[in-house]
């Protein structure tokens, strides 16, 4: 089934004052609006025209291979630290992995078809990630018990973290899909210094996240 919804990323409503000039209106519009995606994006990465205006201060642009994603954690930034429980109920902090590359991927939910494909693809390529010296961390809103059952069922060798309430997802600014009804599927690659080097968003081709992140890791 093909999903081709048309959404805008971080587009606030714009009300123009009576009598405002078209030039002044355009300037205010450029200052307020995040760059809109093209109608053909279909969540396979968001594309924008080359003449797009810079986003507001509140939002920063993330240049990915698929275009621009509105969010708080972007390429070149250092994401906020977090401490979440893993599938065994133990607290894990992002700072723990400083000194090695880290792949952090946010996914909608355990046991769903796309998320299972994605997790198993990371599992099947896990030795390649280890060879690159990288850690893989999956994050969703499921609790630790759900993560444990998911990891055991599919023999997942990497860490799954429970972000109940989606606090970290919100702090990182992971965009939702399908008009906000579906938690976004977004992957970040952090270098040894904890700086984001790559952001990849693709809801409906979950297995592509693995190949894209491996390419970046091999270039670090």
Assess contact for 34 and 11: CB atoms under 8 A: yes
Phi, psi at 190, each rounded to 5°: -105, 140
Assess contact for 52 and 35: CB atoms under 8 A: yes
Q: What is the DSSP secondary-structure string of 108-168?
A: S-TT-HHHHHHHHHHHHTHHHHHHTT-EEEEEESS-HHHHHHHHHHHT--SEEEE-TTSHH
Which H or E run contains 213? helix 208-219
Q: Which of 9, 10, 70, 115 is catalytic?
A: 115
**Residue 115 annotated as catalytic:** yes
Q: Known catalytic residues?
A: 115
């Amino acid at each position: 089934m093909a999903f081709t919804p048309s959404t805008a990323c971080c587009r606030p409503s714009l009300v123009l004052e009576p009598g405002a000039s078209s030039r002044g209106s355009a300037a205010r519009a450029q200052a307020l609006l995040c760059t809109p995606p093209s109608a053909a994006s279909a969540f396979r990465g968001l594309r924008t025209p080359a003449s797009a205006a810079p986003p507001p201060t509140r939002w920063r642009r993330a240049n990915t291979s698929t275009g621009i994603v509105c969010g708080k954690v972007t390429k070149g930034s250092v994401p906020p630290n977090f401490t979440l429980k893993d599938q065994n109920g133990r607290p894990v902090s992002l700072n723990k992995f400083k000194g090695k590359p880290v792949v952090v991927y946010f996914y909608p939910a355990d046991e769903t078809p796309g998320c299972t494909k994605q997790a198993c693809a990371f599992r099947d390529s896990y030795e390649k990630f280890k060879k690159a010296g990288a850690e893989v961390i999956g994050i969703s809103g499921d609790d630790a018990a759900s993560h444990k059952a998911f990891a055991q069922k599919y023999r997942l060798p990497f860490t799954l973290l429970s972000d109940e309430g989606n606090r970290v997802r919100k702090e990182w600014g992971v965009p939702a899909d399908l008009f906000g009804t579906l938690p976004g599927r977004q992957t970040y690659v952090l270098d040894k210094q904890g700086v984001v080097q790559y952001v990849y968003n693709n809801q409906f081709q979950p297995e592509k996240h693995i190949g894209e992140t491996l390419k970046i890791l091999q270039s670090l």
